[in-house]
Structure formats: structure tokens, C-alpha cells
């Protein structure tokens, strides 16, 4: 396949497009479930089932059908739309966004999203990507702090804020268009090792976005997200302090441990280890005052494996040893 053949393939009318030209539109109420968000009916598209049913990869690449609108919907995967030719009008979380050739929009799972009907000249490449793709193929190799990596880290996390999107204005990038063309070659005419080849091309597309482009972001209410995630981290420590580790906590929230460590520091002003030690120390106070257990047993039960370390931290925090604290507090009572 060459570039000319690819163009012809992209402009060919699919069976769906032929029906849409006749105004024979899909009845989404029969094919999809729906929920109400802000008094608006929003359809739930379960794309993971479609992805896993069609191939062994963690994404699905297709040309978006022309001549028909797509109603408000949310998905269970990350949605990427690239304007290969023409233009397209999207509405994300109620915000009207007009995309032109070369633009790319990345939409998280809980962002409500609808698309106006497009014309013959409007070619949009749509890629639905499971979150695990990024865990497997992306984050072990990249730890920078771009808006895109922050978006992706949040998108694959277990927190509740998934109504974000990123808009990239990429019209001048020949590299990005070439990468999409190479990706489409493999879609239309797969060759030996095509899945590996497509995996690497997708990684290169995201690396190109990180490296080269200005971004319009609606990372919805960052302060709200920061506050919520902070509370969730503290709650996890509260419930699991006796056995929690940085790795286990990072895994719980769906983050790489190194990135999660920096995130905790940024959001709370303290390192994860300090937060954990503080909670473990605090948990020993009631036992010191209201039980006859040995200090060693109290420290072990709180999660301290090194008694000397416990004594050192206690003295630094309270200005005395655990034994002195127990004695003084009991004498006051």
C-alpha cells in the first residue's frame, strides 16, 4: 500500500456510511445502555468488549463513520480522535470544540462527548485504547511531567476524576501525520509482526505529542482533583498503616511508584514515608496509655519492624521516649 492507495481507502464509503447517507441512522437506545448526567441522557459505550472480541491487542483503530452525528456518550476506555482531513465539531463536557486537519483530541472515560455529523471530505481516525496499554507499553519508559503524562496517569488511576480531555493543535507536524499513515498501513494491510509494529507506532505518536505540541487542557478542576486524591491517599494510609508500603499504595491507586512518590509530596507536602511513620506513631499512643502491652509489642503491632527506629522517631516527634510518655501521661491521669 502507498499513500495514494491509503487516501482512496479512507474515502471509500463503508456500509454504515451508505446507510447514513440515506438517513438510516443507528438507534442507540436499542444497542447501548444510558445514564443521566446533569439531566442529559448519556449513552454508555462498552468498548473493551469490542476491542477484545476483534483482536488480541488493547486498542481498536478505525475510520470514524461520516454523515451521522454521535450522541452524548461516555466510554470505558480512552478515546483518541485525529483529524486526518477536513474538520469536525465535538462537544466535550458541554464545551464546543471545532477541530481542523491535524488536530487531535484525547478524551477520558467519564467525559461526556458528542460529535456533529461530518461530510465526505472529513476523515477522522478514532482509536479506542484500554488503560492497561499505557501501563504495559508506556510508563515503564517515561517519567516526565508533561500535561499528557499527567492526563494518562490520572486516566489509568483508580480515582474518580475521569472527565478530562486534552486538545492538541498539530497542523504543522509532518511527523505525526506520517506516524498515523504508517499506522493505517498496518490496519488496512497487516504484515508480519503487525501488532508489535502498531504498538511501537502508538508509543511514538504519544512521544511526539509530549515532545512537540502546545496543549489546550480542561484537566477539570485540578484543585478538586488534588483535594480528593489527597483525601483518598490519607484514608488508605489510615486503613492500612500496619502493612502499607509505597509500592502497595502506588499499586492501589494505579500509579508507578516513583511517580506516585512525587505526587504524594506535591499534594500533601510530605513524603509517603513520613505520612506513614506519622500514622504509625500516632497509633501507638492509645496502647501506651491504655494497655499493659510491652513497648516492643506495641511498636510491632503498629508496623515498626525495628524497635530502635521506633524509639528514635518517637523521641524526635514527642521529645521523650515511649516509656517516659507512658509514665508521664498515666501520672497526670
- Alpha-carbon distances of 137 from 15, 127, 142, 299, rounded to whole Å: 34, 16, 10, 41
**Using 50, 70 and 90 to split pLDDT, how confident is the model at 91?**
very high
Report d(CA 197, CA 205) in Å as an integer. 12
For residue 299, how far is the Cα from the chain centroid?
Answer: 38
Mean pLDDT over residues 189-193, rounded?
A: 91
Q: How far apart are CA 231 and CA 239, in angstroms?
A: 12
For the segment 131-156, the average pLDDT, to the nearest whole number, is 72
Under 8 Å between Cβ of 231 and 191: no
Distance from the first to the final alpha carbon of the chain = 86
CA distances for 279 relative to 37, 103, 237, 261, angstroms: 38, 48, 8, 17
> Residue for cell digits 480522535?
81
Provide DSSP, 47-76.
HHHHHHHH-SSSEEEEEPPSSS-EEEEEES
Angle at 203 between CA 201 and CA 209, to 5 degrees: 105
* pLDDT for 232: 80
Q: Kindly report the average pLDDT of the chain as a whole number.
A: 88
Digit-coded pLDDT (tens) for 262-309: 888 888 889 999 999 999 999 999 999 889 899 999 999 999 999 999
Average pLDDT over residues 251-262: 80
What pLDDT, on the 0 to 100 scale, is given for residue 142?
54
> Over the stretch 192-241, which tens digit does the pLDDT of each residue have?
999 999 999 999 999 888 877 766 666 545 555 566 678 788 888 988 99
Q: Are 126 and 80 in contact (CB under 8 A)?
A: yes
- Give the per-residue pLDDT at 158: 65
Average pLDDT over residues 249-273: 84
Q: How do residues 168-183 score in pLDDT, each as one tens digit?
A: 888 778 899 999 999 9
- Which helix or strand (DSSP H or E) is residue 87 part of? strand 87-92
Q: What percent of the chain has pLDDT over 70?
A: 89
CATH code assigned to 3-217: 2.60.120.280
Work out the number of other CB atoms within 10 angstroms of the CB of residue 97.
Answer: 16
Bigger pLDDT: 273 vs 144: 273
DSSP codes of every residue in 235-261: HHHHHHTTT--HHHHHHHHT--HHHHH
Domain 221-333 sits in CATH at: 1.10.10.60
pLDDT at 145: 56
**Which of 130-139, 195-204, 306-315 is predicted with the least confidence, judged by mean pLDDT?**
130-139
d(CA 265, CA 259): 10
User: How does residue 24 score in pLDDT terms, banded at 50, 70 and 90?
Assistant: very high
Phi, psi of 42 (to 5 degrees): -125, 125
Task: Output the CA–CA distances (angstroms, integers) from residue 155 to 89, 113, 197, in the order listed.
Answer: 23, 16, 24
Query: For the ranges 18-27, 143-152, 315-324, which has the lowest average pLDDT?
Result: 143-152
Look up residue 188 and give its three cell numbers: 488496512
pLDDT for 217 equals: 65
Looking at residue 219, what is its pLDDT?
A: 54
Q: At residue 102, what are phi and psi to the nearest 5 degrees?
A: 95, -15
**Confidence (pLDDT) at 55:** 66
Average pLDDT over residues 36-49: 91
Query: How do the domains of the chain map onto residue ranges?
Result: 3-217, 221-333
Q: 92-117 pLDDT, tens per residue?
A: 988 899 999 999 999 999 999 999 99
How much is the pLDDT for 246?
Answer: 92
The pLDDT assigned to 155 comes to 81
CA distance 246 to 313: 19
Nearest Cα neighbor of 140 from 272, 271, 261, 255 is 255
At residue 42, the pLDDT reads: 96
Cell of 35: 445514564
Alpha-carbon distance 58 to 51, whole Å?
Answer: 7
pLDDT at 73 over 90: yes
DSSP state of 13: P
Q: Check residue 51 and give its pLDDT.
A: 86
Amino acid at each position: 500500500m502507498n499513500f495514494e492507495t491509503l487516501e482512496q481507502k479512507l474515502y471509500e464509503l463503508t456500509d454504515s456510511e451508505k446507510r447514513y447517507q440515506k438517513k438510516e441512522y443507528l438507534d442507540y437506545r436499542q444497542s447501548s445502555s444510558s445514564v443521566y448526567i446533569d439531566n442529559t441522557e448519556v449513552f454508555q459505550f462498552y468498548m473493551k468488549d469490542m476491542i477484545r472480541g476483534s483482536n488480541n491487542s488493547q486498542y481498536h483503530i478505525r475510520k470514524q463513520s461520516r454523515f451521522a452525528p454521535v450522541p452524548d456518550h461516555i466510554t470505558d476506555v480512552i478515546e483518541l480522535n485525529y483529524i486526518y482531513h477536513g474538520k469536525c465539531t465535538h462537544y466535550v463536557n458541554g464545551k464546543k470544540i471545532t477541530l481542523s486537519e491535524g488536530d487531535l483530541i484525547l478524551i477520558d472515560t467519564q467525559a461526556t462527548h458528542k460529535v456533529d455529523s461530518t461530510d465526505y471530505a472529513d476523515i477522522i481516525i478514532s482509536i479506542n485504547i484500554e488503560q492497561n496499554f499505557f501501563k504495559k507499553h508506556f510508563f515503564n519508559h517515561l517519567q516526565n511531567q508533561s500535561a499528557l503524562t499527567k492526563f494518562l496517569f490520572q486516566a489509568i488511576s483508580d480515582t474518580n476524576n475521569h472527565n478530562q480531555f486534552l486538545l492538541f493543535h498539530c497542523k504543522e507536524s509532518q511527523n505525526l501525520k506520517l506516524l498515523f499513515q504508517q499506522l493505517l498501513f498496518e490496519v488496512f494491510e497487516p504484515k508480519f509482526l503487525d501488532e508489535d509494529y502498531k504498538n511501537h507506532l502508538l508509543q511514538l505518536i504519544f512521544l511526539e505529542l509530549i515532545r512537540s505540541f502546545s496543549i489546550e487542557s480542561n484537566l477539570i478542576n485540578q484543585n478538586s482533583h488534588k483535594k480528593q486524591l489527597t483525601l483518598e491517599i490519607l484514608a488508605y494510609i489510615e486503613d492500612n498503616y500496619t502493612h502499607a508500603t509505597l509500592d502497595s499504595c502506588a499499586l492501589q491507586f494505579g500509579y508507578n511508584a516513583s511517580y506516585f512518590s512525587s505526587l504524594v509530596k506535591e499534594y500533601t507536602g510530605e513524603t509517603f514515608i513520613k505520612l506513614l511513620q506519622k500514622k504509625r506513631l500516632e497509633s501507638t499512643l492509645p496502647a501506651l496509655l491504655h494497655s499493659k502491652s510491652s513497648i516492643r509489642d506495641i511498636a510491632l503491632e503498629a508496623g515498626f519492624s525495628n524497635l530502635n527506629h521506633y524509639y528514635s522517631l518517637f523521641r524526635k516527634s514527642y521529645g521523650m521516649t515511649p516509656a517516659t510518655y507512658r509514665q508521664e501521661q498515666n501520672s497526670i491521669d
